[in-house]
Amino acid sequence: MKIIEAHGAHIPAIGFGTYTLEGGACVEMVAEAIRTGYRHIDTARMYGNEREVGEGIRQAGIDRDELFVTTKVWWTELSEDKFLPSAERAVEALGINAVDLLLIHWPNGSIPLEESIDALNAVADRGLTRHIGVANFTSALLDEACAMSSRPLVCNQVEYHPFLSQEAVLSACRRHDMALIAYSPVGQGGAVLDHPVIREAAERHGRTPAQIVLAWEVAQEGVGAIPRTKNKERLAENLDVFDLALSDEEMRAITELTHRRQRLVDPSFAPNWDRN
Ligand SMILES: NC(=O)c1ccc[n+]([C@@H]2O[C@H](COP(=O)([O-])OP(=O)(O)OC[C@H]3O[C@@H](n4cnc5c(N)ncnc54)[C@H](OP(=O)(O)O)[C@@H]3O)[C@@H](O)[C@H]2O)c1
């Protein structure tokens, strides 16, 4: 497993995404993911499943120190008075002493960025998280946030797959020695996996389209991915990508597709995205 090192955080490059997983199925999938070899689990306050994710971790019976757990504070809770209580509820729901990484889930243009970044730092000062970071930040917001934060920001979690370029955000992450963690990394199982460039690479390597896409992501310096599945058979498939070496030509051809800029996640409260 490739580990991304960022400001002292050691982030396993493939994590298990848990959005939409709920109840007993969530508990079971998280436990099974850990048994399959996942060491990085991604949840959020907004997913409403932190309790089940925590239960899955306990059922897997793994030593807590072997696991990298991320959660996120929702964009409506970023003010000084709401941030810390939200983070406390997250850690309490997970039932672990502290998470490894706590993220601002989305920027909120109506709350001063400095206020949210200070509150994020205060959560780490309280020992509720080992590392801090952000999600859905543009390159400009990332530059601002890094300049304001007393602790280093270790990652920006953003949508990234072969149909969406993240050139500007990736350069910003590299400028700040941060990881870029790709969400919707298999394009939510949609058209990305059917594109001829992906399908043909899959045939050449005797692997699945999802494995080609994930291998393209983790081959990039500082990039990790958090695929989600409700299907136990796909857990191993999505993790088994580190021995899959794409040629320079294949890497280039897949990167070329990113100029289609087909964003899958773009809510009304999204920031003013980078244009590249
Ligand atoms: N920070 C944010 O704002 C943000 C936003 C979105 C997501 N996320 C995080 O990122 C995680 C992943 O993103 P996502 O859930 O949007 O999308 P995703 O992981 O790209 O796609 C999940 C979909 O792809 C299918 N799939 C998974 N593995 C596959 C495979 N090997 N072959 C074919 N289809 C496959 C799944 O179907 P089956 O279940 O049937 O396998 C599911 O429908 C989320 O769970 C969440 O943790 C964060």
Angle at 148 between CA 165 and CA 81, to 5 degrees: 105
**Cα–Cα nearest to 16, from 5, 49, 8, 7:** 49
In this structure, the residues whose C-beta lies within 6 A of any atom of ligand 1 are 17-19, 42, 105, 135-136, 157, 183-189, 193, 208, 210, 226-231, 234, 237-238, 265
Residue with the nearest Cα to atom 38 of ligand 1?
Answer: 229
pLDDT > 80? residue 10? yes
Concatenate the DSSP letters of all residues of 114-154 into one string: HHHHHHHHHHHHTTSEEEEEEES--HHHHHHHHHH-SSPEE
Summarised one tens digit per residue, pLDDT across range 107-124 is: 999 999 999 999 999 999
Read off the pLDDT of each residue in 191-205 and give the average, rounded to a whole number. 98
* Closest approach atom of ligand 1 to CA 231: 41
Active site amino acids: 47
5 pairs with which residues across the strands? Answer: 10
Residue with the nearest Cα to atom 5 of ligand 1?
Answer: 183
Return d(Cα 93, Cα 103) in angstroms, integer: 16
Read off the pLDDT of each residue in 166-184 and give the average, rounded to a whole number. 98
CA of 87 to the centre of ligand 1 (A): 24
pTM for the full model?
Answer: 0.98
Q: Delimit the domains of the chain by residue range.
A: 10-260
Return d(Cα 28, Cα 150) in angstroms, integer: 38
Q: Please state, rounded to an integer, the average pLDDT across all residues of the chain.
A: 98
Q: Which residue has the tokens 């048994």?
A: 35
CA of 150 to the centre of ligand 1 (A): 33
Summarised one tens digit per residue, pLDDT across range 97-156 is: 999 999 999 999 999 999 999 999 999 999 999 999 999 999 999 999 999 999 999 999
Tokens of residue 243, six digits = 């021995």
* Closest approach atom of ligand 1 to CA 193: 33
pLDDT > 90? residue 67? yes
CA of 80 to the centre of ligand 1 (A): 32
Give 9's pLDDT tier (boundaries 50, 70, 90): very high
Q: What is the pLDDT of residue 217?
A: 98
152 in the Ramachandran plot: left (φ > 0), alpha (ψ -120 to 50) or beta? beta
- What is the dotted CATH code of the domain comprising 10-260? 3.20.20.100
Q: What is the pLDDT of residue 276?
A: 76
Q: What is the pLDDT of residue 177?
A: 98
Q: What is the pLDDT of residue 98?
A: 98
Residue with the nearest Cα to atom 24 of ligand 1?
Answer: 189
* 184, 199, 241, best to mutate for ligand 1 pocket (most atoms within 8 Å of CB): 184
